[in-house]
Amino acid sequence: MKAIERETYSPPAIAQHQPIMAHRNTAILVGVLFIIGTLAGVLSVLFTKPVFDDPDYLVRVATDGNPIIIGSLLVLIMGLSLAFVPVVMFSVFKHYNEVLALGYVVFRGALETVTYIAVTVGWMLLLPVSQAYIQAGAPDASTFQALGMLLRKEAEISSTMTAIVFPLGAMMFYAVLYQSKLIPRWLSVWGLIGVTLHLVATGVGGMFTLTSGLLPIQDMVALPIFLQEMVMAAWLIVKGFNLSAIASGPLSTDTNDRLLSASK
């Protein structure tokens, strides 16, 4: 009687490559989202800054509200793009540090989005206030001017809260990246230094009403994290995640477990 040979299952090549392609697509998506969010944020400033720098900004908004509308839409695009990053990365990060992965979702996916929405609400409410200001005339002009300043202050406070929530969430992001080695550690360290400077100069400085005196410094301090995010985004799009880190880390174990389960 011939011995019955047991056939061993070998996963198809395409099945073995699917997890790698999934990580590659995730890296590209995250890089694109960072670029979209950053560009939208820069464009929102370019559209709204000339309006808010005008002493008669209510008259300017009443005459042409398009810069405020476009700026508000760009802020929402920025917020939604950046909020989607922690959602996409959670399935990757949870294998390395689930607590920080969840914290990243809470801070950048939820809390930061709320601050962006609050900014846009304050800006959009300037549209009806500016129209009422023009129609009211001189007797009631001061009332609407005060209301306009209140709305601008609300948007400013919301931006300050963004400057606190954003770096706290970003610290979690770069801490997991440093731990996992999914990108070069020098990029993660650069990010940690950049967001720390941003938190101190913009977040803490804004809380203690030091914003006006620190504006030139804030622009300089924001440059390191701005450059880092663009370099990191380009790296993720071109290079992707570190495959050796994936092969030797918990993601590899999870992938092997799924392949073995599929073979049964």
User: Which tens digit of pLDDT belongs to each residue from 190-205?
Assistant: 999 999 998 988 877 7
pLDDT in tens, 51-103: 999 999 999 999 999 999 999 999 999 999 999 999 999 999 999 999 999 99
Instruction: Note whether residue 212 is domain-resident.
Output: yes
Contact indicator for 240, 28 with CB cutoff of 8 Å: yes
Q: What pLDDT does residue 12 have?
A: 41
Q: Give me the number of domains the chain comprises.
A: 1
Question: Does residue 168 belong to any structural domain of this protein?
Answer: yes
Q: Please check whether residue 69 lies inside any domain of the structure.
A: yes
| Tokens at 65, concatenated | 């509200």
| pTM score, whole prediction | 0.83
Q: How much is the pLDDT for 214?
A: 55
Residue 263 has pLDDT above 60, yes or no: no
> In terms of residue numbers, what domain contains 137?
22-250
The two tokens of residue 53 are 């720098």
Asked if residue 161 has pLDDT above 60, the reply is yes
- Does residue 4 sit within a domain? no
Rounded distance, CA 197 to CA 180, Å?
Answer: 23
What letter would DSSP give residue 3? P
What one-character-per-residue DSSP string does 69-104 give?
A: HHHHHHHHHHHHHHHHHHHHHHHHHTTT-HHHHHHH
Report the C-alpha gap between 259 and 264 in whole angstroms.
9
Contact predicate 68/79, CB 8 Å? no
Tell me if 16 is assigned to some domain: no
